[in-house]
Structure 1
Amino acid sequence: MKCSVKKVFASLCTLLVVFVFLIGVVSAAALEDGEYTIQASAINAATGAPSMAKDNIKNPVKIEVKNGKINIFLTMSGQEVTKDFSFDSGSGNFVLAEVISDSGDIKTYKFPVATIQEPTMMQTYVTAAGMTVEFRLSYDTATLSKVAATGTNENTDDDNSTTGITGSDNTDNVNNGDSNKVSSPQTSDSQLTVLTKLLHAFVFVTMLLTLYFSNGKRLYVRDKMRGQKD
């Protein structure tokens, strides 16, 4: 009995170390602070086919990572006939994106995302059609390229000449050279959340097993003492 309990606890400790290591690896896979560019496309939320909004996206799209938080700078054309450009905040609620540049037909929007590994649900009202249109903004992580580190200019959000804010149909800025290429992170916040929940479940199971074996050991000792008395 004593040997069995030791083996179980040794196995549990090993699994705990593995879980902690995996969580550390996932955390390290996040994007470093800095400015990036990436190719993005619009996907029809209902059919999964390319959305009509794809032609309005000015690529490459700028990404800014500051203190671990990701902000997208999306430039769209054809905005004279749309309003209330919104993004899914992650809880199913749509929030109006911040307009940082407005030249009438072309606008640049800024909004936060939890990860670029998963599409962002977008929503806009098309005044000409009198209807709200939804599409998924999908990021091609294979085209992710680092432009610069953050912290050098506090006014970069307001400077429309900054690389990637106004966008361009020319993709040369994305492929300036292999030295700017960034390995896209292989994990997302949702995966980190799953691992965290698994760790919590593991700790809970460990507590139950501890109580079970402790109770079993007490019963074993009690029965042995009774046998000696008899």
Structure 2
Amino acid sequence: MYLLKQNVAIKIVAILAIFTLLSVGASNKTLAASLADGEYSINYSVLRADSDSASMADGYFKKPAKLIVENGVHKVQVGISTSAITEFKVGGANVTEISKSGESSVVQFNVSSLNSPTAGEIHVIVEDQNYDHWYTIRFDFDESTANALSSQTTSTASDATNTTSDTETAASSTAKETTTEKVENPRTSDMSDITIYTVLMIVSVGIIVISIVNRKKLAK
């Protein structure tokens, strides 16, 4: 009888833990799905074509990306730190190059959904090593890390197209904003991790307490 009660109690604790974890995940998705029109910074990973493992190309894409939401359309701007990527396609179409400076460049492309990875193709050429290959990669954007960029930053970036001085101001403002967002981005994730660890701790303590109580009763 005692063992039966113990098993029932353990199942109840486990069910409560599962519901709590599901609630955390659902709240994060709801937050991401409610993105209004505007500009956001968002973290992402570059995955292999056939698995969720990080692609070797991941290190050549700068983080975070810039997400632009307008009338339900999602566009992202990502930075590339190498000129070895000579061609870049998403959905069979070439991405739009926003800017280029030396080895680095910024490109833009549409994303049909942030809930699933976006496939793309890159052409990598390293002439001095006689290296020439096409690779299929996937961009996995983490919706829970989306943070709105300030209207001041957006305005400054827009005015930057008029004069060189404005361009420098916009770059400085964007860099500061990006730094701020990088500090703030993990907060949502950290809160989720804290909740998960708390639930796991409660489950562990509950199981230990039940086991101790059961042993004492059996000893009697």
Equivalent of residue 145 in structure 1, options 144, 147, 165: 147
Aligned runs of 1:40-189 on 2, under 5 Å?
40-78=44-82, 80-88=83-91, 94-128=92-126, 129-148=131-150, 155=158, 161=170, 172-176=180-184
1:84 maps to amino acid: E
Q: Give TM-score scaled by structure 1 length.
A: 0.53
Q: Does structure 2 conserve the Cα–Cα contact (< 8 Å) formed by 1:62 and 1:163?
A: no
Match of 1:226 in 2: none
Say if 1:73 and 1:108, in contact at 8 Å, map to a contact too: yes
**For 1:69 and 1:152, how far apart are their aligned partners in 2?**
20
Alpha-carbon distance in 2 for matches of 1:76, 1:146: 22
The answer (yes or no) to whether the contact 1:37–1:61 under 8 Å persists in 2 is yes
Cα 1:146/1:108, change in 2 over 3 Å:
same
Q: 1:46 to 1:157 in 2, by over 3 A?
A: farther
Fraction of identical pairs, as percent = 23
Deviation at 1:46, TM superposition (A): 2.6
| Secondary structure of 1:58's aligned partner | strand
User: CA separation in 2, counterparts of 1:130 and 1:64?
Assistant: 33
Q: How much does 1:124 deviate?
A: 0.9
Residue segments in structure 2 that go unaligned for 5+ positions in a row: 1-29, 162-166, 189-220
| Kept after mapping to 2: 8 A contact 1:73/1:165 | no
What is the alpha-carbon root mean square deviation over aligned residues? Answer: 3.6
- Alignment length (residue pairs): 147
| Cα offset, 1:142, TM superposition | 2.2
Structure 2 contact 147–185 (Cα < 8 Å) conserved: no
1:107 Cα deviation (Å)? Answer: 0.7
Contact 1:125-1:131 within 8 A present in 2 as well: yes
Summarize the Cα distance change of 1:104–1:34 in structure 2 as closer, same or farther, 3 Å threshold.
same
Residues 47-83 of structure 1 deviation map (CA, whole Å, 9 limit, x = unaligned) = 43210111111111110112221110000111x2121
TM-score, normalized by length of structure 2?
0.56
Partner of 2:193: none
**DSSP 3-state at the match of 2:142:** strand
Residues 39, 143 of structure 1: 8 Å contact kept? yes
**One-letter amino acid matched to 1:125:** H
Pair member with larger Rg: 1
Decide which structure has greater helix share. 2
Distance 1:138 1:164 in 2: 27
Q: Which amino acid aligns with 2:117?
A: P
Structure 1 residues 164 and 43, CA, compared in 2 at 3 Å: closer, same or farther? farther
Runs of 4 or more consecutive aligned structure 1 residues displaced over 4 Å after TM superposition: 149-154, 156-160, 162-168
Change (3 A) 1:71 1:110: same
| Alpha-carbon distance in structure 2 between the residues aligned to 1:108 and 1:139 | 17
167 and 154 in structure 1: CA distance in 2 versus 1, 3 angstrom threshold: closer
